[in-house]
Amino acid sequence: MRLPYVAIELKRDGSFETEAATGGPVEDPIHLPLDYGGETVGRLVLGRRAGEEGFAPADKRLLDDLARQIGVAIHAALLTDEALRLSADLQRYRERLVTAREEERRRLRRDLHDGLGPQLANLTMKAEAARDLLSGNPDRAEVLLTGLIGEAQDAVADVRRLVYELRPPALDALGLAGALRAYATHHADARIEVEAPEELPHLPAAVEVAAYRIALEAINNVVLHASARDCEVRLSLDGEALYLEVTDDGRGIGMERGTGVGLSSMRERAEELGGTCEVAAVPSGGTRLRARLPRGESGAEVPARGLSKT
């Protein structure tokens, strides 16, 4: 058509971006919408030929036909871009999960190799020394055995610490709601109420641990920083996700604390499961944390009915 300028613009985030162009930009170009399925996905930018105000009917028919085909092509290109973006996001999440898993394995190996391993080896040597002294020097053997008991207790404490860091034992013993209630009773500075379904259905282990850790971090923030009198921890769920809400009547959250380590950690725990975690000030005073944790395969289960308070 011997036009001085032609460009194809794609619509992204409410604005148009030039994706391809030929010729030099001209003043007052003609814009033809590029649609797909009743939605504008881009536009065709055309420069007028010198001395002409518009296009002849035959040119208009040609451009309309082109616009329909270009709209289909743009829709496919946008879908491809979205697929590539999602694939890149998925790869980043996979890398983060692999990195986190390997870091956890490294930490466990270090704790076992450098801490618990030598501790148990030392216990064995002292036990052998005490056995050798039993007949000839019972007093010395008794001293060794007394020390042995203390070191064995320390080793047991280390094992419990390692187990707790893998998964809090309270979750297995009391369940999620019970574990939160047990933790809440340890804080006398604020009245902490836990509201949850009478019987929570089975949840994936990762969801339980994430909800527990996020709730504990939020409670600690309330006790240490909020100067709150009352705090409510609420658990609810539907067929897709577990919802955690922690609300207090304290002094609220300042902008300078909006990206602290604790808040970042809570958000990361939720995002690792494909969920969300948001913290905001309550208009009447205080702070509210809301977390949504997808239930994964357990989402097909029927939600528990009824609420109980403590």
pLDDT digits (tens, 9 = 90+) for 277-290: 999 988 888 899 99
In the chain, the domains with their CATH numbers are 5-86 (no CATH), 105-166 (1.20.5), 171-309 (3.30.565.10)
- The string of pLDDT tens digits covering residues 45-101 is 999 888 787 788 888 899 989 999 999 998 898 888 889 888 888 888 777 777 777
Give 169's Cβ-side CA count (13 Å radius).
6
What mean pLDDT comes out for the span 183-203? Answer: 85
Q: Does the structure show a pLDDT above 60 at 230?
A: yes
